[in-house]
Structure 1
Amino acid sequence: MEQTTNDTQHLATEVRDACIRAALEGYEHAAMSGLCHEGAWEAAISAMKMLDLNAILNQGTCD
């Protein structure tokens, strides 16, 4: 039971970290391209929506 909890916690952390990375990269790229704050924020949200969750799940099974 404890291993399942640890696995779930690890997966949640991986997904959170991937979302943060995607948002930061999306925002920075959009801002450097000249988008306003609102446009850059929309780009950050879009980047999170486009995350390849299967890649995160597969990476988690290889650890």
Structure 2
Amino acid sequence: MPHKDALKLARAVQTAAILAALQGYENAAISGLCREGAWEAAISAIRMMDLDALVADGSAKNGPQP
């Protein structure tokens, strides 16, 4: 994989991870979880990301998968 493509993929993964974490934290906070619980939900959202779909798509425009 050429450097440019690897960098594009890395940025897509980074963006998707940030979006997943933000969405997970927000959903947990809305549900009434404390900050610590919301943080754990954010980390869990990152762990549940569909990396196969992200690699196949080649972008983070679709964000985290439900």
Q: Same fold by TM-score, threshold 0.5 exceeded?
A: yes
Give the unaligned 5+ runs of structure 1: none
The share of aligned pairs that are identical, in percent, is 56
**d(CA) in 2 for partners of 1:48, 1:33:** 18
**d(CA) in 2 for partners of 1:58, 1:31:** 31
Give a deviation string over 1:8-52, Cα, whole Å, max 9, x none: 000000000000000000000000000000000000000000000
Greater helix content = 1
4+ aligned runs moved over 2 Å, structure 1: none
Per chain length, whose mean CA-contact separation is higher, i.e. which structure has more relative contact order (CA < 8 Å, sep 6+)?
A: 2
What is residue 28 of structure 1 aligned with on the other side?
26
C-alpha RMSD over aligned residues:
1.5
